[in-house]
Amino acid sequence: MKYNLAFKYRIYPNKEQELLINKTFGCVRFVYNTILYTANKIYEETGKNKIITPASLKSENQFLKEVDSPALSNTQLNVKRSFTNFFQKRAKFPKFKSKKTSVKSYTTNCVNNSIRIEENKYLVLPKLKKIKLKYHREIPKDYRIKSVTLTNSNGNYYVSVLTEFEKEIQKMPSNDKVIGFDFSMSELFVSSENQRADYPKYFRMLEEKLKKLQKSLSRKVKFSKNWYKQKAKISKLHEHIKNCRRDFLHKLSKKLSKEHNAVIVENLNMKGMSQALNFGKSVGDNG
């Protein structure tokens, strides 16, 4: 049976590569918005759902030929998927992309080994060639790379490498080690064995610093250069809090899955609880 698994790394592009990556972000955004605008116009005029191809845009927009073509093709698929979800009432009408968002990304596909890891310190990508990466988690040799998603978040570049592998799942003898968890606002959970998560509340720890940054932002002229700089600082702090929380929860979930055959949790509407009882910050901090 075939399975997919993603590996995430941080990359360190040089100035030339960084320029091309940012150019690709812009081209992907341009193609997405153009296809969405055209599809919306066709639907209003004819009632038909028609998605144009990125290739049809290249003759009038020569700059699109300078970037990775699979990235543009994936953009077309994203628009098509957004429209399908809208018509099947699974999502709202797709919105246009803005260049002012803090997170930018694009996905490219592996064709004829065009994406590969070399010397355990370089990632080879179409158009970009060798990029330095922090190869902290090795991809097994029998795993096949399918695609890579590049992301720029607050000036830091990351890649998510999607792989495919084949494996037969075998049933292991069970020792019937089962544990149950009861949600706790102050401690994340209390287990059936009376264990606590000992969870550091990262948001509460940095809330005072966040308040100072937001107060400084409120004094600046909206959409000015200093306003955008201050907004970037706030975004970086939020990302730091998110990464701390995610690291703790991933390590905890791995430990629990290794030690138990089954984990039983409460079926709670956390979103509803945070809104109805004014516990938004506490519930969000628990992740």
- Among residues of the chain, what percentage have pLDDT more than 70? 97
Q: How far is CA 149 from the centre of its chain?
A: 9
Question: Could you give the CA distance from residue 76 to residue 187 in angstroms, rounded to a whole number?
Answer: 45
Whether 142 has a pLDDT exceeding 80, the answer reads: yes
- Encode pLDDT of 211-232 as tens digits: 999 999 999 999 899 998 999 8
- Encode pLDDT of 15-51 as tens digits: 999 999 999 999 999 999 999 999 989 888 887 778 8
Residue 116, SS3 per DSSP: strand
Question: Could you give the CA distance from residue 68 to residue 255 in angstroms, rounded to a whole number?
Answer: 40
Question: Could you give the CA distance from residue 232 to residue 249 in angstroms, rounded to a whole number?
Answer: 26
Please report, for the chain, the start and end positions of each structural domain, with discontinuous segments joined by +: 2-166, 178-286
- Encode pLDDT of 253-279 as tens digits: 999 888 888 889 888 777 777 776 667
Question: Could you give the CA distance from residue 70 to residue 91 in angstroms, rounded to a whole number?
Answer: 25
Whole-Å CA distances, 181 to 190, 247, 267, 268, 281 = 6, 20, 11, 12, 21
Strands in the chain per DSSP E = 2-12, 103-109, 116-118, 122-125, 129-133, 144-153, 156-166, 178-184, 188-191, 262-265
Please state the pTM of the whole predicted model: 0.81
**Average confidence score pLDDT of the chain:** 89
Contacts of 26 (CB under 8 A, 6+ apart): 99
Report whether 246 contacts 254 (CB < 8 A).
no
Report whether 287 contacts 189 (CB < 8 A).
no
Q: What is the CA angle 234-186-212, rounded to 5?
A: 20
